[in-house]
Chains A and B, each alone.
Chain A
Amino acid sequence: MTGPHETSVATARPSGGKPGRSAVVCSGLTYRFGAHTAVDHADLRIEQGETFGLLGPNGAGKTTTIRMLTTLLKPMEGGVSVLGINAADQPMRVRRMIGYVPQLLSADASLTGRENVELFARLFDVPRKSRRDRVEGALAAMGLTEPANRQVKTYSGGMIRRLELAQALVNSPRLLVLDEPTVGLDPIARTDVWEFISRLRESADMTVLMTTHYMDEADTYCDRVSLMHAGSIRATGTPGLLKAMLGDGATLDDVFRHYTGGTLDDDTAKRGIRDVRRARRTARRLG
């Protein structure tokens, strides 16, 4: 049950980065909120060019792992490096390489779509000369050229998510980090967002790390996945391999149940403090 069940898979995708340097390496990564250990000695290696899914129920430690990777939290034990650079030691260098889309829909509603993207172009020091092209390119890549001059308060949930992807892409990140990219979206918007992410994956050379608790999405869109439960990584491999090991007709859900002994929905007791707080905050926001 314990220990990472590594099932490695060769990365078939072309990669423009330095060979032999993984996109993300977590070793013994640990974070506690008071007495609650949110991430418990997690080990993880993501190769360049992969679309990697970090799966697990709410409170499994996915978001905390992401927050350490994105330099928002400093690991209490162990460490995480992005393309060979330690996130705790050189946060600025790591931030320059990543595009991050958080769990909540979080564009500035009082600005237009284009202004939202331009803001991030400026914050990432995209040179003035190429700023305009980059902003338009990112908007076009996410199919937002037409509504770009409208204030974001008129956007639908799916459009806001695409706008956030455009914001993250304007810097041409080496690693795109998506925290629950489709949570809270209706099924049509979910498919729509995935279509855009997939197109992006076909055309751009970048690593995508996403967290999700939708097993079907992970199965369809990820090259490899890790199953996370109660703060530790329980299994890693391609969705196909993980399923095959359980026998014919197994789903990722079954795999998950096999490694954690629980189902995805039956996780209330294991929920971290953070998620409860966030849920409350979201509830307050929605009135």
Chain B
Amino acid sequence: MSAAPGVPPAASAEVVVASSGSVTATLLPPPDTPLAVVRRLASRIVTLCWVELRKIRHDRTELYTRAIQPALWLLIYGEVFTRIHAIPTPHGIPYLAYLAPGILAQSALFIAIFYGIQIIWERDAGVLTKLMVTPTPRAALISGKAFAAGVRSVVQAIAVVILAALLGVTLTDDPLKLIGAAAIVVLGSAFFSCLSMTIAGLALSRDRLMGIGQAITMPLFFSSSALYPEKIMPGWLQAISKCNPLSYEVDALRGLLIGTEAHLALDAVVLVIATILGVTASALLLPRLAR
């Protein structure tokens, strides 16, 4: 019984003693060595990803409704543009195959860019305050949420991959490359969810965040290489695309899933740095939300 917090209703003198024993045991704080800090960060990320998976398990509606848009992009836009050969693809691969990783990245972007709504909801409901009173550093809380968005995106990405395969796109069957692609989706979503949480920290309201999210999603999408190669973009758009993390996400996904030439190392480095910057920015703004 000594492990039970608070101790069950049937109280007795021994229970008090036993409980105070376990209470003092929890008092010892873990030392703040670098290893302990990293371990705590990892533990919080695992915890918040676990929560996300539980939520997906309880309610799969969102998973299905969010599959509609990418399905339309692949089925209608993809099929039509494959047929008219309007967009030059590297090595003449079918446009649908070229498009699939772009749509995958897009559906992950859509999930992540509105992820900040959750943090505003949690703030309004008082959940955020409670989370911030646990021994969880702000950066760990944000990282946990960012990776949770990544987990949700990967689950969504699986739907897009299956859809693309059904439409006859030949995707890699190398498990390592698939894991690599999942990692890229997680990183990309982590960055865009941090962008969303940063906006949440500035906008402080769900409506404003929705508005800003709507306003930036399509520009992010169209100014990336998701739909067409950078080569055919006008110069100014190429410049923007080079600054757009989505382009790097798409480049890596294409390389891993379709086998086009990609700059995997550069893509990964850009996404990791962007994520670190994103986590930092939203962690700095977190107190604004909790105020």
Which residue numbers of A lie inside 8 Å of B, CB to CB? 14, 16-17, 70-73, 92-93, 95-98, 100-108, 110-112, 115, 119-120, 122-126, 130, 133-134, 136-138, 140-143, 151, 164-167, 169-174, 199-200, 202-206, 281, 284-285
Contact = CB atoms under 8 A, between A and B. Distances in A.
Contact of B5 (A96, A107, A112, A137): A137
Contacts of A119: 47, 51
A92 B29 contact: yes
Contacts of A143: 9
Contact of B125 (A106, A112, A123): A106
A146 B77 CA distance: 51
A95 B26 contact: no
A69 to B, nearest CB: 10
B4 interface: yes
Nearest to A101: B130
Contact of B58 (A125, A151, A205, A285): A151
Interface in B220-267: none
A102 B5 contact: no
A97 B27 contact: yes
A169 B6 contact: yes
A70 B4 contact: no
B37 to A, nearest CB: 10
Contacts of B4: 133-134, 136-138, 140-141
Contacts of B26: 96, 124, 126, 171-172
B135 A103 contact: no
Contact of A200 (B6, B21, B46): B6
B20 A205 contact: yes
B165 interface: no
Nearest to B39: A125
B20 A16 contact: yes
4 cross-chain pairs, A with B, having the tightest CB-CB distances, nearest first: A137-B4, A16-B20, A203-B11, A106-B126
Contact of A172 (B11, B23, B125, B135): B23
A204 B40 contact: no
A284 B129 CA distance: 18
B85 interface: no
A124 B19 contact: no
A172 B47 contact: no
B130 A100 contact: yes
Contact of B19 (A120, A204, A284): A204
Contacts of B21: 16
A172 B5 contact: yes
Given A106-B125, A205-B16, A167 B3 contact: no
B9 A122 contact: no
Contacts of B132: 72
Contacts of B125: 104-106, 285
A174 B7 contact: no
Interface of B is mostly: helix
Interface string B33-60: 0000000100110110011001100110
B5 A171 contact: yes
A111 B58 contact: yes
B59 to A, nearest CB: 6
B277 interface: no
A49 to B, nearest CB: 10
A124 to B, nearest CB: 6
16 contacts: A72-B290, A108-B51, A111-B51, A123-B134, A124-B134, A137-B5, A137-B8, A138-B6, A141-B4, A172-B22, A172-B26, A173-B23, A174-B23, A203-B16, A281-B124, A285-B125
B127 A96 contact: no
Contacts of B15: 203
A199 B172 CA distance: 61
B44 A134 contact: no
B133 interface: yes
Contacts of B50: 122
B5 A103 contact: no
A96 B23 contact: no
A287 B26 CA distance: 41
A172 B29 contact: no
Contact of B47 (A16, A123, A173): A123
B24 interface: yes
Contacts of A16: 20-21, 23-24
B258 to A, nearest CB: 36
B136 A203 contact: no
Contacts of A92: 29, 32, 135, 137
A125 B40 contact: yes
Given A137-B4, A137-B8, A199-B11, A72 B133 contact: yes
A141 B6 contact: yes
A96 B29 contact: yes
Contacts of A130: 3
Given A123-B131, A125-B135, A285-B125, 8 more contacts: A110-B59, A111-B54, A119-B51, A124-B134, A151-B58, A203-B9, A204-B6, A204-B7
B237 to A, nearest CB: 40
B30 interface: yes
A123 B135 contact: yes
